[in-house]
Chain A
């Protein structure tokens, strides 16, 4: 299986700040990476797929970059509803999809 390592595990920020989350793959996955946001008690929500394409209805403050083994999700100006856990996912090996361990974004 392709291993995805997310960093940091926890980041504490204030509303309005910029946040950068990282996801590193154990082997090249082209641009076949998605990002999800999960709030406590809720299901995950797709933010980005294809490493950089925002999903329908996702605000412009979310942007994804990367290719190969290094990927980044940036939130340009954090809003209160953005707190929670962010997961990356690789689907380059689509018969064995894997998720990263997650990054928790909480209040400073």
Chain B
């Protein structure tokens, strides 16, 4: 069955860095886009970033551009989210989610359980 497992969440000070990982299984990982979304405590969902199946294109929500970088290693079925210069407003549960085979099919048909990032001094 399709499974996505996030890890790497932690308590981090403002201005520091953190790397999240998402390990996938149960589908042909190298054929699908992967998205990152986040949910602040008690709030709604915010899309964060997407990476294409081969890693050739990456897009980000405006508030993380220049600070976050998404990448993937198809040899180990893993997507990463490198978070630099984190801010208190980045505090959230971060989910990775499976997208479609083509970029326009950007609904998320499977989600991981999330990993918690707390930015605090």
Binding site for B on A (CB under 8 A): 1, 32, 34, 36, 43-46, 49-50, 55-56, 87, 89, 91, 94-102
Contacts and interface: CB of A to CB of B under 8 A. Distances in A.
Interface residues of B, number: 23
Contact of B46 (A46, A56, A99): A99
Interface in B31-77: 35, 37, 44-47, 50, 59, 61-62
Given A96-B61, A97-B35, A91 B106 contact: yes
A43 B107 contact: no
Given A1-B62, A87-B44, A91-B104, A97 B109 contact: no
Interface string B95-107: 1000000011111
Contacts of B59: 95-96
Contacts of A94: 50, 103-104, 106
30 contacts: A1-B62, A32-B104, A32-B106, A34-B107, A34-B108, A36-B45, A43-B113, A43-B114, A44-B95, A46-B107, A46-B110, A49-B107, A49-B109, A50-B107, A56-B109, A87-B45, A89-B45, A89-B107, A89-B108, A91-B104, A91-B105, A91-B107, A96-B47, A96-B59, A96-B62, A97-B47, A99-B37, A99-B44, A99-B47, A102-B44
A44 B111 contact: yes
Interface of B: 35, 37, 44-47, 50, 59, 61-62, 95, 103-114
A101 B42 CA distance: 11
Contacts of B112: 43
Nearest to B58: A95
Nearest to A95: B59
A56 B98 CA distance: 14
A34, A87, A97 — most chain B CB neighbours (10 Å): A97
A43 B112 CA distance: 7
A45 to B, nearest CB: 8
B106 A97 contact: yes
Nearest to B112: A43
A99 B114 contact: no
